[in-house]
């Protein structure tokens, strides 16, 4: 199958060619007789959203992939719905070249070659516990002898109490220049058996990060660890949030018993990235028996699988010191074992407590 492309940058075209696709670059929209039942890729810079009906009418037999270029959390959702109605495949803003390649393979039902050692931790609100949960899981996996890297990719909150010698903003020039070396990862902060990169301390630059920089960091980190856990926080509007969401095969969603309405909004946003509720494992933090949000209510109302529920803990007590009972530690162990099995990694922690 040929790919007719109008509006793509040279880098994306080269990535498509490197993936083995035959790409026909067009300066104007091709004739329908040329495209026929092949794949047509265009962007919102070429075809405006109000012209989508005409696009489908002009190419009735083609597989169409539409890249929406205007960044923002809300403004593209109605465009996605419109594309679904017209049978057009939609790609949201901040989509990288490799994600486009993966999407095309999915459309064509080709085999996908994902690197499955990436876990994304995201939250339904600020201060919900993304960093603490990511570190707790990392500690447990590292105790099993795996090399684990935790990346602070919350561009609005570094997740660290003081500015260290290494952090995401300090590492960024090497990301931009694509010159990260193995020793850069080994120089991350060593905590409880895993390596930790605190997030962005230069919050004024949060919107300046580019998707390709984050994608490069994730790629190199995965090469240097058995498991990479990315803490992307609770604010969707960043390159790190979008790229990690689309690259990670496992998504752990940390929420609060009072965040039903936030979860609904977050899942609606995720649906425009082709995610369904069952693609998330939820952790209900600060859960009590009086809460409206329980494992049962979350599953029945929103369709999200619950990873586990964490109780309210004493002020000043770190997450990795939670006094979880035997049942809770068993649940966490079993979930970790299942996640690592998808990465073709064995997990032998069977009798030790989660936070021992």
Do 227 and 119 form a contact (C-beta atoms < 8 A)?
yes
**Architecture of the domain made up of 2-107:** 3-Layer(aba) Sandwich (3.40)
Give the 3-state secondary structure of 171-227. HHHHHHCCCCCHHHHHCCEEECCEEEECCCCCHHHHHHCCHHHHHHHHHHHHHCCCE
HEC string of 253-319 equals EEECCCCHHHHHHHHHHHHCCCCCHHHEEEEEEEECCCCCCCHHHHHHHHCCEEEEEEECCCCCCCH
Residue 26 contacts residue 1 (beta carbons within 8 Å): no
The full set of domain ranges for the chain reads 2-107, 118-342
Domain 2-107 and domain 118-342 have a common topology:
yes
Q: Please tell me what DSSP assigns to residue 54.
A: H
pTM listed for this prediction: 0.80
Predicted confidence pLDDT, tens digits, the chain (356 residues)? 899 999 999 999 999 999 899 999 999 999 999 999 999 999 999 999 999 999 999 999 999 999 999 876 667 788 988 998 999 999 988 899 999 998 998 888 765 555 479 999 999 988 888 898 899 899 889 988 999 999 999 999 888 888 899 999 999 999 999 999 999 999 999 998 999 999 999 989 999 999 999 999 999 999 999 999 999 999 998 999 999 999 999 999 998 878 888 888 888 888 888 888 888 988 887 655 555 666 677 777 788 888 888 776 555 445 444 555 677 677 777 888 888 888 888 887 654 444 44
DSSP assignments along 118-153, one per residue: EEEEEESSTTSSHHHHHHHHHHHHHTTT--EEEEE-
CATH superfamily of 118-342: P-loop containing nucleotide triphosphate hydrolases (3.40.50.300)
CB 228 within 8 A of CB 97: no
- Residues 142, 182: contact at Cβ < 8 Å? no
| Paired strand residues for 23 | 3
The whole-angstrom separation of Cα 137 and Cα 118 is: 13
């Amino acid at each position: 199958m040929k790919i007719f492309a109008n509006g793509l940058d040279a880098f994306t075209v080269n990535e498509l060619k490197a993936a083995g696709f035959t790409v026909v670059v067009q300066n104007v929209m091709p004739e329908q007789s040329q495209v026929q039942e092949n794949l047509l890729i265009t962007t919102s810079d070429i075809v405006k959203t109000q012209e989508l009906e005409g696009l489908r009418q002009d190419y009735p037999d083609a597989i169409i992939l539409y890249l929406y270029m205007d960044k923002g959390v809300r403004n593209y959702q109605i465009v996605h719905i419109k594309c679904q109605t017209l049978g057009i495949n939609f790609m949201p803003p901040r989509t990288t070249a490799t994600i486009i390649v993966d999407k095309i393979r999915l459309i064509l039902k080709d085999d996908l070659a994902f690197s499955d050692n990436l876990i994304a931790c995201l939250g339904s609100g600020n201060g919900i516990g993304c960093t603490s949960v990511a570190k707790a899981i990392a500690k447990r996996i590292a105790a099993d002898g795996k090399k684990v890297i935790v990346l602070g990719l919350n561009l609005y909150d570094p997740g660290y109490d003081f500015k260290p010698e290494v952090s995401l903003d300090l590492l960024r020039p090497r990301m931009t220049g694509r010159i990260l070396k193995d020793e850069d990862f080994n120089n991350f902060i060593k905590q409880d058996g895993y390596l930790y990169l605190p997030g962005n301390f230069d919050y004024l630059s949060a919107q300046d990060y580019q998707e390709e920089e984050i994608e490069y960091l994730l790629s190199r980190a995965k090469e240097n660890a058995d498991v990479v856990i990315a803490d992307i926080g609770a604010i969707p509007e960043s390159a790190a949030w979008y790229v990690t969401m689309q690259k990670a095969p496992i998504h752990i969603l940390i929420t609060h018993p009072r965040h039903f309405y936030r979860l609904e909004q977050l899942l609606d946003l995720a649906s425009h990235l082709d995610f369904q509720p069952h693609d998330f494992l939820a952790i209900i933090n600060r859960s009590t028996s009086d809460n409206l949000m329980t494992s049962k209510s979350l599953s029945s109302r929103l369709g999200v699988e619950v990873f586990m529920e964490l109780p309210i803990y004493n002020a000043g007590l770190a997450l990795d010191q939670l006094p979880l009972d035997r049942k809770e530690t068993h649940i966490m162990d079993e979930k970790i074992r299942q996640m690592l099995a998808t990465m073709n990694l064995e997990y032998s922690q069977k009798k030790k407590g989660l936070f021992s």
